[in-house]
Amino acid sequence: MDAFYASVEQRDHPELKGKPIAVGGSSKRGVVAAASYEARKYGVRSAMPSVTASRLCPDLIFVKHRFDVYREVSQQIREIFHDYTDLVEPLSLDEAYLDVTQNNYDYPSATIIAYDIRRRIYEETGLTASAGISINKFIAKVASDYNKPNGQKTITPDEVTEFLEKLEIRKFHGIGKVTAEKMYQLGIFKGMDLKQKPLEFLVEHFGKSGAHYYNIVRGIHNSPVKPNRTRKSLGAERTFSENISSELFMKERLEQIAEEIEKRLSKTDIAGKTVTLKIKFRDFKTQTRSKTLNEFIHRKEDILKIAVQLMEQERFRESVRLLGITLSNLDNEKTEEEKQVEVQLGFGF
């Protein structure tokens, strides 16, 4: 995600858009947790003392963190990831690895999947994301730092060697400032310089990490994507450009959301028993209501019926900025005739 915490604050507080903001405390002992791109232009970075940040950017606006909101948005984004593949390895609230060698959609390439995921993140959360696509986690991570914000970069198998040889050492993921300085002293400034050093030389100067550097500059990084959870729910949300008050409009939006969930269920071949309706009001207060059924459902009509019933239990004193539906208590209860044929895709570009 692009400047995740700061972007969430700018989304939820339109008056902050386009302004340099820092998430964190402004006191003398405060530390910047995240900085907007407007603040980064002045050199403000995460983990920087707030006093230093204020000196670099006198107009910097400090915003108190809301980690509960960030976790909520992060979960929403991870649900999008899991619509495409179960092989999702979260690194933090705002970053994850995905293996889409086999995926739940009929897209022929990882590049198209990354674009579609970024599109959906923007449509469903109002936030932008960047992506890197390549043959392994290391190169994909490096590529993700290019074309930010709101962009992506693909390194195809044929491009890996040249890309790594030309890459500046400080841009290699996992090589920090101290290690980079040591490499500079040894005459290593780019990937090509690193590649020319024998394994014994690198191990002598960098210990066990030397073998790692020897491999990654050759594009060798065999660590698989390690998913850490079984899917427990599937949902979709919509944040509206303008708050809505009409229950008729709300029902229309719920129908669109239910239709989206039905499409995703048909791809993942699952059904669920519990429907949860989420409503976020103009003042950002959130209300959720759930209903658990005796049977599994997966059709739009069934999901919508329950969601509308839950909505009609609510007394709307404020206009609504977001609606969401989640289906949980998942299981595979469809008939053989309804099941989708699994398609195995190569990791195309």
Structure tokens at 83: 């619509």
Q: Are 265 and 259 in contact (CB under 8 A)?
A: no
Can you say whether the dihedral through the CA atoms of 108, 109, 113, 119 is positive or negative?
negative
Per residue, what are the HEC states of 86-140?
CCEEEEECCEEEECCCCCCCCCCCHHHHHHHHHHHHHHHHCCCCCEEECCCHHHH
Q: Are 325 and 258 in contact (CB under 8 A)?
A: yes
- Burial string for 219-232 (b: 16+ CB within 10 Å, else e) reads bebeeebebeeebe
Structure tokens at 21: 């903001």
Report the relative pairing of strands 21-24 and 61-63 from DSSP bridges: parallel
- Catalytic member of 72, 79, 89, 95: 95
CA 108 to chain centre: 21
What's the full length of the chain, in residues?
Answer: 349
Is 95 marked active-site? yes
CA 154 to chain centre: 17
- Residue 94 is assigned to a ligand binding site: yes
Name the nearest CA neighbour of 40 among 127, 149, 142: 149
Extract the annotated binding site for Mg(2+). Answer: 94
Extract the annotated binding site. Answer: 94
Residues designated as active site? 95
